[in-house]
Structure 1
């Protein structure tokens, strides 16, 4: 790596999560991630990521996916996004970041040409609505009239909507502050929002930064499956690449759970030198179990879509089970 590249990499790692997840990771249109690209000859497959894309991060840092794709004539090009819905709708990359269960509702509503090819098994406690420990807010009902930070279109957006509905409230009863996760972290720390609906690793960092109280998490509201999607055209033309990505993700998930200390050591510097305990807490709440998508298991997606329609977050009713699904060739049965 050249001195210039080293400086760029160091700057990226410091600025991405400066102050511990407190600044915007990248622009909404996406920027290549700071680590060095693979220079082997081959066709580039563009892959998007978020800071919560743990398994893709593992594959990138360890170079595993590059090795897996090289015999197929491809090399990965990594792109970090703060907001993923726009690039998913626009088809800006080939294979998209793993996204919370709520995100595909918005992309399907927008008619984005996307195919499901994997999901990460649920982890409902990895999303939560939190308040400072000394806040008078103790229940979801106490959020009435309060300013609540949330990232529009995220899984935590659904957690907030569903929690409000369960308590007999709606978004009309609160003051929603639509903030991307890094912006929400800064607002919560400054006290400019009363509560924050958020997911890991931002949740784990907030818990480590100051004493907080969990008003509600995803338990009983959502399983918080994370879904992996690919552009329709890419999977039709290169199913072998998508199958290879699926297998690599599955192996990465098993590696993280089997090697928790090594996983923390790998992720902490990428996430802005977060304390190991924060990374460990986030990893403990995620399942990292990658499995194929089964249409019969998408009923909860319909529940999310119906809540979003009622909250006027999507313009029309959709059948959340009427989506394209690719079954990787590496999956038996």
Structure 2
């Protein structure tokens, strides 16, 4: 091979080698880009109760244009929501203030990030229409069913105290809502302590009577709470903040379209239309940020539980809140 041909061959070999390297580098860049894209796709695992948040968001169209994925998890009551938060099975969840504080006082580490303020009236003590219990005064010696540590448990203790009764004056049967109602219907329990939409259904369809309600006794607070892991993940935190904005927007829309939403809520959750309308219209609800008054009221709730030894020792609620989230832009 002449020197000229050798030079041309060497140059060609170098060019092919360089092209090969460039292709490998390009492939690496594509793989890296795809990995980065996959990493940026945020998935929020959200725990709901009876479709409350999801129904509002879907009916109002507030979820349009989200740039993250939502996986919904449906729960029948607050206790399993609190447990799911504790084991990080969900990122954020919807639950009443009493069960949230009860869970955190017993090892939970979730933080409340927004508060849904509602009329506490539908959290109530209910009895069948033919029950001899006519008012809260008649509860002495009776049995009541509820979720332990729930808003219904809190209400029961508040009502007993209001009537000058002690917890020992009644019998507590701790059961989830559906089992509690069944226990009342088969006669093994006298009264059912629960919240909407269970209350609305029992009133309208089963002709139960309310003998005590939560007004003046219970805050009406429901929290959106998140796990520490989710709140410390910056991408998820941005998505959670966006979700809260959308919750607030959906709540404003549903309040302005109460009748329309009540029907849609019933359809989404699988309730009769009149039950859905009643359960929603009497909420008088608003999503608000966590502030000093919310924390103060929550401390009073925790102290009340401590008084009745549901919480074993004094519990400082301050670490159970993250005030870094807004509800409006």
Do the structures match in fold with TM over 0.5? yes
Residue 109 of structure 2 corresponds to residue 113 of structure 1: yes
Q: Deviations over 1:38-94 (max 9, x none)?
A: xxx93321111111x5223332567643x3431xxx200011123322112222111
Structure 2 equivalent of residue 7 of structure 1? none
Structure 2 equivalent of residue 143 of structure 1? 139
Q: Deviations over 1:273-323 (max 9, x none)?
A: x22111111112212311101023322222221222222212222023443
Q: Structure 1 stretches of 5 or more lacking a match?
A: 1-40
Structure 2 equivalent of residue 81 of structure 1? 75
**Aligned pairs, number:** 285
Q: 1:131 to 1:248 in 2, by over 3 A?
A: same
Residue 299 of structure 2 corresponds to residue 302 of structure 1: yes
Structure 1 segment 103-252 matched on structure 2, within 5 A: 103-237=99-233, 238-252=236-250
Give the TM-score taking structure 2 as reference length.
0.80
Q: 1:143 to 1:252 in 2, by over 3 A?
A: same
Inter-partner Cα distance in structure 2 for 1:224 and 1:244: 24
Inter-partner Cα distance in structure 1 for 2:253 and 2:220: 21
Structure 2 equivalent of residue 26 of structure 1? none
**Segments ≥4 residues shifted beyond 4 Å:** 60-63
Q: Which has the larger radius of gyration?
A: 2
Give the TM-score taking structure 1 as reference length.
0.79
Q: Structure 2 stretches of 5 or more lacking a match?
A: 1-39
The structure carrying a bigger helix percent of its residues is 2
Structure 2 equivalent of residue 312 of structure 1? 309
Structure 2 equivalent of residue 278 of structure 1? 275
Inter-partner Cα distance in structure 1 for 2:268 and 2:133: 34
